[in-house]
Chains A and B, each alone.
Chain A
Amino acid sequence: MTEPHPRFLWRNPEPKSRYEVVIVGGGGHGLATAYYLAKEHGITDVAVLERSYLAGGNITRNTTIIRSNYLWDESAAIYEHALRLWEGLEEELDYDLLFSQRGVLNLAHTLQDVRDGVRRVCANRLNGIDAEWLEPAEVAEVCPVLNVSPDVRYPVLGATFQPRGGIARHEHVAWGYARAADALGVDLVQGCEVTGIELAAGRAVAVETTRGRIAAGRIGLVAAGHSSVLAAMAGLRLPVQSHPLQALVSELYDQVLDTVVMSNAVHVYVSQAHKGELVLGAGIDAYLSYAQRGSFHVIERQLQAALELFPIFARARVLRTWAGTVDVCPDASPIVGPTPVEGLFVNCGWGTGGFKATPASGFAFAWTLAHGEPHELNRPFSLERFATGALIDEHGAAAVAH
C-alpha cells in the first residue's frame, strides 16, 4: 500500500523565550502564515503556538471545498489568489494534497437565485475567474445524479459553475504547511495554550502561555473560533461571533459524484472524496457556542435537502457527524490586518469559508506581519470597515457553509 504521508513531518521543540514573530493558533491559516513568513520574507525566528495538537480545529473539520467565485472584487481577488496558489501547492510543498479540480456547482432554485447567480458569474468573469452560468440541462450533463426534474418542491433553475474549483484533503494541507515550515526552522509548539497577552506602553510585547512567557516582536492571532477570547486578553472586542458548524461523512461507496454541488436555497453542499465517502455540510447553528457540537435537527434538514437533490443517496449511511467552531463576521467576510494594539495583528472571521482561502490568508497575513501593514489583498478586510460602513457583504456568495 502506498504511503499517503511522508516518513517525517516535524520536530517537537521546546519553546524559546523570545521570537521575532509569534503566531497564536496552529491551524491551517496559522501554519500557512508561518510557512510564507519563512519562505517569502526569510523570517524563520517564528513560533506557532497551539494549545492542543496541530490542525485539530476547523482546518480538519470542514468539507474542503475550494473555489474563488465570490461576488465583490475584494473577495474575488483574495480567493482567486488562493486558488492560484492551490494550483501549485502540491509541488511547492512536495506533498500529495489530493487536490482535485473537479468543478463546483452552486444551484439556483428560484428566479431571484438565478438573477443572483448570473450576477455573480458576470462579476467573476470580469475578475478573470473561470465562472460559467449553466442552464438546467447543462447542469444535468455536469452532474448526472442530480435531480433536475421540474416537479420537485424547489426545482433546479440553473447553476453557477467554476471548473477550477474542487476539493483537497484537509490534514494533508495542514501537515504539508507544517512540515515545510518546520523544515525552514519554524518552531511548531503543541500543547502550549496562550493565557495572556502582555502589553507595554500600549504595545503587545509577549504572550503568557501554559509553557511560560514568550516575548515577541510581533504577534499574530490566527485562532478561528477563539479569536474573541484571545483579543479580549489584549482588551479588544471584535465584530465576530462563534457558532457551531456541522458536517458529516458517509461510509465508502464507488464513485457516483465527481463534482462539488452546493445549494444555498435548500442548504446543503456535498462532494464525494477520494476514498469514496460522501462529505456533506449545511448552515451554521444559530446560537453562540464553543462546544464543537451542534444540534441534530440541522443534520436532519440537511439530509432531507440532500435527498431532494440526490435520490440515489437514500441508502447512503451517515458514518460520523462533527462540528467546528467558526467565527462569523456581520458581512460574511474576514478580518485580516493590524489592530488598535501596536504589534498585535489578527486574522479571523473567515466564518464558514476559511479552508479555500488558507494559502492566500497565510500569504497575505505573513506579508502583513513582515511589513507591519496590510498587503493589497487584505487591505479591504480591515477592522475599520465596520466604522466606515464599507462592508464587503458576501452573504450571497457565502450563504451556506463551505
Chain B
Amino acid sequence: MRFTFAGAEYEGREGETLAAALVRHGILGGFRSVERGRPRGVYSAHEEEPNALVQVGAEPMLRATLVELRDGLVAEPLAGKGRLVAAPAPRCESMHAHCEVLVVGGGASGRAAAAAARGRVILLEQGRCAPLDGVLVLDRTVALGLYERDWVLAVERGRRLWKIRARRVVLATGAIERPPLFPGNDAPGVMLASAYEAYGRPAGATPVSGGFSPRVHLWSQAGGRLRWDERIGAPVPDGELPGVECVGRVTGAGLPDAPPFALPEGDEDEVFVDLERDVTLADLRRAVGAGLRSLEHLKRYTTIGTGSDQGKTANVNAIRAAAELLGVHPGELGTTTFRPPYVPVSFVVVAGRERGPLFDPVRTTPMHPWHVAHGAVFEDVGQWRRPRFYPRDGEDMEAAVLRECAAAREHVAIQDVSTLGKIDVQGPDALEFLNRIYTNAYDSLEVGRCRYGVMCTADGMMLDDGVVMRVGERRYVCTTTTGNAARVLDWMEEWRQTEWPELRVWLTSVTEQWAVAAVVGPDARELLAPLTRVPLDAGSFPFMAIREGEVAGIPARVCRVSFSGELAFEVWVDGRRGLELWEALASAGDATPYGTEAMHVLRAEKAYPIVGQETDGTVTPHDLGMEWVISKTKRDFVGKRSLARPDTSRADRKQLVALLPVNPDALLREGSQIVAAPNERASQGHVTSSYRSAALGRTFALALVAAGRSRYGEVVYAVPPRGEPVPAEIVEAVVYDKEGSRRDGRPAA
C-alpha cells in the first residue's frame, strides 16, 4: 500500500503503524517542536509519543505511533498543534457493561488474571490481543479513567465509549520507558530503547533509556496512594484500594533497576525534560529560582506535563530533576495529579449518539398531527412543542395572533391545552395535604367544583399555579403549568414523604392520561351544544363547576374554567382519543384554533400571570396582587412564614401593573427596564409581557414596578436594549373587562 507523509509518498505494509513505516524508510526526523521549532523524530512506539504528531484529513493531533496505515493515507506532521475543520462527524456510540472482574492491560499478567477470574470477565487491551476463553476481550481499547473504584471508562477503536461497572478491577497496565536527561536528548534519531527494539534496531537510531515508570494513572485517579520506589526511580502503587488491585510491572515488579540519576553536565537549555512542551532543565532551574517549591507550581511555571502526551515520558524525570535542584528526596515532592482521560478522546466519541435529533426529547400531545397538518408554528415549552399560532395564507405572527384573539373574544376559539400538568390526589387526608401545599384554603370546595390555587416555595416565592378540582369525596385533580408539571409533583411528593408521612394521601401523575381542549368565547356553548348532552347554560353549569358526560361521543370531564376571562369550557378526554375530540371540535361550527401567543395575550388582558414570565423566583403572590389567594385563616402553609419577613413585606416591592404606552401603537420590548424619567438610570422594574390587543385596539404591557399599585396614572419610561425610552402610563393590571362580565358569555336571548 502507499501513504503520504509531509507531501512525499511512501510504501507501507499491512498492520504497520505510520511511525514504524517512517522509521523503516529511514525517516528519523520529519517533525518540529511546538515552542522552539527544533527538529524532532519518532521517539517511542506507543501512546506516550511526545514528538510524532500528525494531522490525517480532518483528524488532528494523532500519534504516528498509533496510526495504522491504510492505502492512500495522507499525514502531515504537526508542531504540537492541530487543525479543526468543518467536516461531517463520524458516527460514534456508547455502551454500558457490567462484570465481576475487569482487567486493564492484555500483557502476560493481565491475561493470566483474566484467565483465572470467575464470573463475567472483561479484558481491555490498547493494542491487538488474542481471544481468551470465557472472557470478553476488547482490544484496541484504551481505559481512559477509573472513577469511584468500580466504574471504568474506555474507548474502543476510537468510536465506541464503554462504561463498565466492575465488582473488581485488576490493573495490569505495565510501565512506560522514560528518556535519560543529557544535552541533545531530543535530537532526531534518539529514541527510547523499547522503541528501538520494536522498530527492529533501525540504522542511525540511538537507543536511550532512563528507566521505566509504572502506568499508575488509573490507580491514582481512583484515589490510590503512591510510594517512591528507589530501585526503579519512579512512583509505584502503595497501600490498599477496595476492589482494585495491581498486578505485573505496574507494581514495579520485574522492572529493571533505574540507572543512577544525576543532573547532567553541559548546556541545561539543551537538556529536554518535556519534549512535547519543549521544556528544558534550564527552565526548571529558573522556576526553582523564582521561589517555587511545589511540583504543581513547577509544572505550571514550566508547563511540564501539560502537553497532549500529559507528560507520560516527562513527569518522572521532572520529579527527579526538581528534587535534585531543591535538594530534597523525590518522595517528598509527591506527584502531580493524574487526571482522566489517560489518552485524549474526541468530543464526538464522548457525545455518542445523543446528538442532533436525539440530543433531547421533543414531547408532543395527541393532537400534534393535526397542528402540523394545519401549518402551526411551534414554540418550545420545556421539552414540549406547542403551537404558537396558526398563520393563514400570507399572515405574519402579529396578524395571526390578532385574528386568533378576536375569535376568542367575539366568537369561539379552541386551544390544545393537553400539556397542562395533572396530578391525581387521593386519600382521606387529601384536603389537609392541599391546605398545606397551596397558599389558599380548600375546606369549602365542594365535589364537582374547582378553585384556582397558588403554591409558594419555602422562602415564600411563587412556585406555580393551577386549578384544583374536587372530583370525589376524597379525590382531587390538580393542574400545574406546562413547564412545572414534573417539578410540582416532585415538590408535593417530597413534602408528603419526608415531612408529612402521617398523611394518608397518594399522588399520581395523570398529565398524559388526559387530552384537554379549551373551548373559549361567547359562542362556546353554541359550538359544544351539538356535541354533548351536558347542559351548558350558566344556571345548570356555573363558573368553576365540573360536569361528567360525553362530548362528540367520547366520555369526557368538562370544566368551566377560563384563562381568558371569556366563557370557556375545558374538555378532558382519554389521551388516546384526544385527536378524535380535537377534530370533532375543529370541524364543528367554525372554531378558530389558537396557540400559546394568543393565549398569552388573552390572559395578559386579564392580568393572569404566567409563572416564569411574570415571576422569576423573587416574586411573591402579594407582588402579583393576589392577596385574595393567601389564606389568612390557615395556621400554616408552605412559604407562609417567609412572607412575614421584613423584605418580603416591604411596601415598595415591585408589584404587577399594566402599562399603556402613550403612543397606542408603540409596542414595548419585553424585558425593557422601567425608569421614572427618560434620563433616569435607576431601574424601577421591568416589562414582563407586551402585546398588541385586538380587544383594546392598542398595545399594552404587564410590568413589575416598584410600589406600582400606588402609582396609577404616572407616566414612566421603558428603556429598550436599543433606541429611545418609551413613555407609558401605569394603570391597574387588569385592562379588559375589569368587572368580569364576560365570564358567563352572552346573556341568554
Within 8 A of A (CB), among B334-384: 337, 339-341, 344-348, 350-352, 354-357, 359-360, 362, 379-381
A182 (CB) vs chain B CBs: closest residue: B291
Chain A, Cβ-Cβ closest to B295: A53
Interface residues in B667-681 by Cβ distance below 8 A to A read 669-673, 675, 681
Which among A121, A133, A190, A308 is the interface contact of B293 at CB below 8 angstroms?
Answer: A190
Min C-beta distance of A134 to chain B, whole Å: 9
B248 at the interface (CB under 8 A from A): no
B635 interface residue per 8 A CB criterion: no
Cα–Cα distance between A217 and B337 once the two chains are bound (Å)? 37
B359 (CB) vs chain A CBs: closest residue = A153
Known: A296-B153, A319-B310. A306 touches B347 (CB 8 A): yes
Contact A122 B350 (CB under 8 A): no
In the bound complex, residues from chain B placing their C-beta under 8 Å from that of A120 are 671
Q: Are A121 and B721 in contact (CB under 8 A)?
A: yes
Binds B, one of A96-104, A111-119, A366-374: A111-119
Q: How far is the CB of A161 from chain B (nearest CB, A)?
A: 10
Contacts of A125 in B (CB 8 A): 719, 721
- How far apart are B278's CB and chain A's nearest CB, in angstroms? 7
Flag whether B130 is at the interface (Cβ < 8 A).
Answer: no
Given A315-B89, A319-B310, A53-B351 contact (CB < 8 Å) = no
* A126/B683 in contact, CB under 8 A: yes
A390 touches B647 (CB 8 A): yes
**B59 interface residue, CB < 8 Å from A?**
yes
Q: In the assembled complex, how far is the CB of residue B25 from the closest CB belonging to chain A, in whole angstroms? A: 27
Report Cα–Cα, A62/B460, bound state, in Å. 34
A-B contact pairs, 29 of them (CB 8 A): A1-B35, A3-B286, A7-B290, A11-B291, A53-B294, A112-B612, A118-B720, A118-B721, A122-B672, A123-B673, A145-B86, A153-B360, A154-B360, A251-B61, A252-B80, A253-B61, A254-B84, A300-B94, A313-B347, A314-B347, A316-B346, A316-B347, A317-B61, A317-B346, A319-B341, A389-B460, A390-B646, A393-B617, A393-B618
Question: Closest residue to A318 on the B side, CB-wise?
Answer: B345
Interface residue A230 (Cβ < 8 Å from any Cβ of B)? no
Within 8 Å by CB of B86, from A110, A251, A311, lies A311
Decide yes or no whether A8 CB sits under 8 A from chain B.
yes
With contacts A1-B35, A388-B645 taken as known, whether A307 is within 8 angstroms of B719 at the C-beta atoms is no
Q: Which residues of B contact A190 (CB under 8 A)?
A: 293-294
Taking A125-B721, A320-B339 as contacts, is the C-beta distance between A8 and B290 under 8 angstroms? Answer: yes
Partner of A54, one of B85, B297, B672: B297
Determine if B296 is an interface residue (Cβ-Cβ < 8 Å).
yes
| B 251-283 contacts with A by CB, 8 A | 278
Given A115-B670, A117-B671, A126 contacting B719 (CB threshold 8 A): yes
CB < 8 Å neighbour of B89 from A133, A307, A319: A307
By CB atoms of chain B within 10 A, which of A126, A190, A251, A322 has the most?
Answer: A251
Q: Which of B59, B671, B682 contacts A118 (CB 8 A)?
A: B671
Q: Nearest chain B CB to A103's CB is how many angstroms away?
A: 16
- In the complex, residue of chain A having the shortest beta-carbon distance to the beta carbon of B483: A112
Taking the nearest CB of chain B, how far is it from the CB of A215, in angstroms?
Answer: 26
Contacting pair A318 B347 (CB below 8 A): yes
Q: Quick check: is A163 within 8 A (CB to CB) of the other chain?
A: no
Instruction: Tell which of A7, A121, A312 touches B84, judged by Cβ atoms closer than 8 Å.
Output: A312
For residue A5, CB closer than 8 A to chain B, the reply is yes
B170 to chain A, nearest CB (A): 21
Partner of A319, one of B292, B294, B308, B681: B308
* Nearest B-chain residue to A265, judged by Cβ: B380
Interface residues of B in 113-146 (CB under 8 A from A): 145
CA of A8 to CA of B344, assembled, Å: 34
The total of interchain contacts (Cβ-Cβ below 8 angstroms) comes to 229
Of A119, A132, A133, A389, the most chain B CB neighbours within 10 A belong to A389
Closest to B460 in A: A389
Q: Name the residue in A254, A314, A321 with the highest tally of chain B Cβ atoms < 10 Å from its Cβ.
A: A314
Which residues of chain B are near A60, meaning CB under 8 Å?
300
Given A307-B89, A391-B618, A123:B354 Cβ within 8 A? no
Known: A251-B61, A318-B345, A389-B460. A308 touches B355 (CB 8 A): yes
Check if B206 is an interface residue, CB within 8 A of chain A: no
A73 touching B683 in the complex, CB below 8 Å, given contacts A5-B290, A303-B350, A318-B345: yes
The 8 A CB mask of B688-708 against A (1 = contact, 0 = none) is 100000000000000000000
In the complex the two chains form, is B297's CB within 8 Å of A303's CB?
no
Q: How far is the CA of A64 from the CA of B688 in the complex (A)?
A: 33
Residue A15 lies at the interface, judged by CB distance under 8 Å to chain B: no
Within 8 A of A (CB), among B179-218: none
Q: How many residues of B contact A (CB 8 A)?
A: 88
B344 touches A123 (CB 8 A): no
When chains A and B are docked, how far (Å) is the Cα of A326 from the Cα of B61?
33
List CB contacts (< 8 Å) of A4-41 with chain B: 5-12
Q: A112-B613, A396-B616 are in contact. Are A118 and B290 (CB under 8 A)?
A: no
| Given A115-B613, A388-B647, A314-B348 contact (CB < 8 Å) | yes
* 1/0 contact string of B143-166 vs chain A (CB within 8 Å): 001010001010000000001000
* Residue in B60, B348, B675 whose CB lies within 8 Å of A307: B348
- Residues in A with CB closer than 8 Å to B348 are 307, 314-315
Give CA–CA (A319, B347) in the complex, Å. 10
A185 at the interface (CB under 8 A from B): no
* A266–B642 alpha-carbon span in the complex (Å): 32
Known: A122-B720, A171-B300. A276 touches B290 (CB 8 A): no
Taken residue by residue from 380 to 395, chain A's Cβ proximity to chain B (1 for < 8 Å, 0 otherwise) reads as 0000010111110101
Whole-angstrom CA separation of A125 from B724 in the bound complex: 13
Task: Give A395 to B354 CA distance when docked, in angstroms.
Answer: 27
B648 near A: Cβ within 8 Å?
yes
* A388:B646 contact, CB within 8 angstroms: yes
Residues on B with C-beta less than 8 A from A127 are 681
B617: chain A residues within 8 A (beta carbon): 393, 395
**Contact across chains for A295 and B359 when beta carbons are under 8 A apart:** no
Task: Let me know if A196 is at the binding interface, CB within 8 A.
Answer: no
For residue B58, CB closer than 8 A to chain A, the reply is yes
What 0/1 pattern do residues 299 to 310 of A give for CB contact below 8 A with B?
A: 110011111100
Check B634 for interface membership: any CB of A closer than 8 A.
Answer: no
- Cα–Cα distance between A153 and B357 once the two chains are bound (Å): 7
Residues of B within 8 A of A391 (CB): 459, 618, 647
10 closest Cβ pairs, A-B complex? A118-B671, A314-B89, A317-B344, A119-B671, A389-B647, A389-B645, A133-B721, A53-B294, A122-B673, A314-B348
Flag whether B81 is at the interface (Cβ < 8 A).
Answer: yes
A111 touches B720 (CB 8 A): no
A322 to B151 Cα, complex, angstroms = 17
**B175 touches A (CB below 8 Å):** no
Residue in chain A with minimal CB distance to B672 = A122
Chain A CB within 8 A of B289 CB: yes
Rounded to whole Å, the gap between the CB of B603 and the closest CB of chain A is: 15
Cα A117 to Cα B278 with chains together (Å): 45
Give the chain B neighbours of A293 by CB distance below 8 A: 147
A137 at the interface (CB under 8 A from B): no
A343, chain B: closest CB distance, angstroms: 28
Taking a contact as CB atoms under 8 Å apart, the answer to whether A304 and B296 are in contact is no
Nearest-neighbour CB distance to chain B for A318, whole angstroms, equals 5
**Smallest CB-CB separation from A133: which chain B residue?**
B721
Within 8 Å CB of A110, what residues of B?
380-381
**Smallest CB–CB gap between B157 and chain A, Å?**
15
Question: CA separation between A8 and B289, bound complex, in Å?
Answer: 7
Check A251–B308 contact: CB distance below 8 A: yes
Tell me which residues across on chain A come within 8 A of B682, comparing CB atoms. 126
- Closest residue of chain A to B221 (Cβ to Cβ) is A293
Contact B82 A251 (CB under 8 A): yes
> Which A residues are in CB contact (< 8 Å) with B721?
118, 121-122, 125, 131-133
Compute how far the CA of A26 lies from the CA of B355 in the bound complex, rounded to whole angstroms.
Answer: 42
Beyond A313-B347, A315-B59, A393-B617, 15 additional pairs, beta carbon < 8 A: A7-B290, A119-B686, A122-B671, A250-B344, A252-B61, A295-B147, A296-B147, A304-B359, A308-B359, A312-B86, A317-B344, A319-B341, A322-B339, A389-B642, A390-B647
